[in-house]
Amino acid sequence: MNATEFWDELHERRAAGTPKVNARLAEIAGPLSPGTVLDLGCGGGGDALWLAARGWRVTAVDISGAAVRALRERGGPITALRVDLAEDFPDGTFDLVSAQYFHTPFALDRARVLRTAADSVNPGGRLVVVDHGSAAPWSWDQDAEYPTPGDVAAELDLDQAEWSIDRAEATERQATGPEGRTATVIDHVLILRRAGR
């Protein structure tokens, strides 16, 4: 099974549910003035729909054609694109680039993708990377390694004259999974702001 097949199968199984915004994104983007936003690995589209409902001009991308089709079918002012970020990156510049739980069991130069994402951030804009810091019992990535926000920032190695770290922390939340199961999980939150206006 390749990456596209894996994610298509996962999103086809989840398509019946109503997508929800990631809690960390709502917390981070809620106070911001709407602008342009790129949602990397949009999945079921919960973040894209939430952002669009608050006035953001949303470009949402995912490797899964099933996820992108489902998001398009939900309607709304969202540009939803199937993009394999291992090979390509969407055009444009953005006030906010969001990478929520941007993990995969397949080979991907994640740091390169996130550096490319940083290049697409407008002056004064933000790159938000929220990673798993632990695995929920129902997660596919039980054996994953969990780099800290500091590790991610160091790997990206962005120009410190141009970029500042607004937030880098591990924080707990209650997660709800399939069949209503709950668990306490850790999120690693990194918010990088580009110098400018």
Q: Mean pLDDT over residues 62-91, rounded?
A: 94
Tokens of 93: 């510049």
Residue 160: pLDDT band (50, 70, 90) is very high
* pLDDT score at 15: 65
Q: Which residues contact 122 (CB under 8 A, 6 or more apart)?
A: 35, 36, 93, 94, 95, 194, 196
Give yes or no for residue 99 having a pLDDT over 80: yes
* pLDDT score at 122: 98
Ordered by where they begin, the domains of the chain are 3-194 (3.40.50.150)
Give yes or no for residue 53 having a pLDDT over 80: yes
* pLDDT score at 197: 66
Name the pTM for this structure. 0.93
